[in-house]
Every structure is written in structure tokens, then in C-alpha cells.
Amino acid sequence: MTLAFHGRVAIVTGAGGGLGRQHALALAARGAKVVVNDLSPEAVARVADEIRAAGGEALGVACSVTDMAAVQAMVQRVQDTWGRVDILVNNAGILRDKSFAKMELDDFRLVMDVHVMGAVHCTKAVWPLMTAQKHGRIVMTTSSSGLFGNFGQANYGAAKMALVGLMQTLSIEGAKHDIRVNCLAPTAATQMTEGLLPPAMLSLLQPEAVVPALLALVHDDAPNRTILCAGAGTFEAAQITLTRGLHLGVGSHVPEQLVAQLGAVTASAGATVPQSGAEQGHNEVSQAMAAQARA
């Protein structure tokens, strides 16, 4: 099967360079009409021209994803030009790395605003179109920093994990309209990661190596509610699991019992991947009811 996107319209934010540029070029090469979005008009024009020179169709729109009015205007322009939006790649992001003790709150807010509210603005703007079309593919760009933590990236990690939470609920709400929402956790050498990794690793982590994961998450047969990780040609899936746990009941003795048996509570054997938040409560209540029945 060849992944093709003829007739599809894609918006890629942060597409003026790095991963976003690679995503935009790959989608265009496979037939999509691509909206190249970034802050820099020069970078936007350069990538849009690159797509056109290769025989593709592109529309360059320079604006900040933190500006909801500008985002809405961008989406309206796309609708006026091509009549639809099928794919949204929320890729725009910034870094403001520093240990939490030394981090200014303004830098925390800015990172949250660009990553989280930027994705919210873009997703909110395209959601009515995708609902009406009964088709949509949305990718949130998360990170291992959010999924697993990284020193000096409290702001970035918090923002990236927030996008996973956003994806979890939107994937449920969009399913009836065939709007599939997924996360991509890339590892790539870009301007954002320059100076953070040794040269030998950077040579392996080319942005192009992440693109197959992006394409897998936005084609017509894409999954829904998947966290796909990609780097250096290796692909993994991250999952938020729930252990079977242990019913200890209610009473003054429970804190000591919980500490004594925490290993059993956290044991991964029998862990599941809940399909909604309600499954946690169901697991807890079902074990409590089973204990009552045995009493």
C-alpha cells in the first residue's frame, strides 16, 4: 500500500524549518495541498516555494499560533482557497530550558502558551470543518520530556504532557465524525535541540527519519488515540497504563498497609490501557464490590 494524500488539505504549524518543514514537504510530495505556517514570513515563503518548485501546491501563512484571531483567519483563508481542511499537524513549539529553581514564570507561561494554547487554537479553528466533512486527522506533537521527564524542561514537559491529555479526550469526542487524533513524540536534531546532544547522536537523528510516523498518523486508515514515538528510523508506541492494583478497603489501617504493599499496587503484570477515564473508577469500584461479596 502506498500512502497518498491527493485531494487532502493539510495545515502544518511551525513548518518554516526542522520537523515541520519535513512534514510539509512529505505531505506535498504525496499529493496533499499544504498550508505552511510559521512566525517568519521569509521562512514560510521559502518552504512554500520549495513545495511549488517540486510540483506541489502550497499556501504560506505567517502568524503566531498563540493568536486565535490570526489562526481563525488562516483557516478561513484555507477554506476560501481549497474548501476544506483534512489534516492538522500541531508542530509549532519553542524551548526555554532552565532548572525549575531558576526558571522565570514568564518562560513557563510562554512555553505553555505556544505548545498547548497554540494547539488548542488551531484545533478549535478546524474542528467545525472536520465535523462537517465527517473526516479529520489531527496530530499533537508531544515529547519524551513530557512522557518521561528531562532535567531543565519542567515547562516544556508540562506542555507536552498536556497535549497528550488533550488528545485523549478529543480522540473520544471526534470519533463519531471520523476525526482521529493522535500524538507524535519525535526525537530529531533540529534548531530546538542544537547543543543538547553529542554530534554522533545528532548525525543519526535526522528530521526526515520522523516523517514516516507523521504520515502513518494522518492517512485515511490512521489509528485513533495513539502515541507514536520516532527517531533515527526507530518507531515505538508509548502507552498510559493502569495497573490491576489492590483493594485495601477503608479505615485507619489503610495508609500503613498501602505503604507496605505499594510494590503490589504498582506491579505492571496485568496492566491495561484504559479507553476512557471511567475505566479507573470501574476498576476501583469492581474490586470494592468483589471484596464486599466475599465478606
Residues designated catalytic: 156
Structure letter (DSSP) for residue 209: G
Place of cell 529553581: 101
**Rounded distance, CA 76 to CA 59, Å?**
13
Identify the three-state secondary structure at position 63: coil
Contacts of 201 (CB under 8 A, 6+ apart): 189
Structure letter (DSSP) for residue 267: -
**Rounded distance, CA 14 to CA 32, Å?**
17
Do 145 and 160 form a contact (C-beta atoms < 8 A)? Answer: yes
**Rounded distance, CA 93 to CA 114, Å?**
6
User: How many C-beta atoms surround the C-beta of residue 268 within 10 A?
Assistant: 8
Q: What is the 3-state secondary structure (H, E, C) of 102-135?
A: CCCHHHHHHHHHHHHHHHHHHHHHHHHHHHHHCC
**Rounded distance, CA 160 to CA 147, Å?**
8
**Rounded distance, CA 264 to CA 275, Å?**
23
**Rounded distance, CA 133 to CA 251, Å?**
53
**Rounded distance, CA 161 to CA 142, Å?**
7
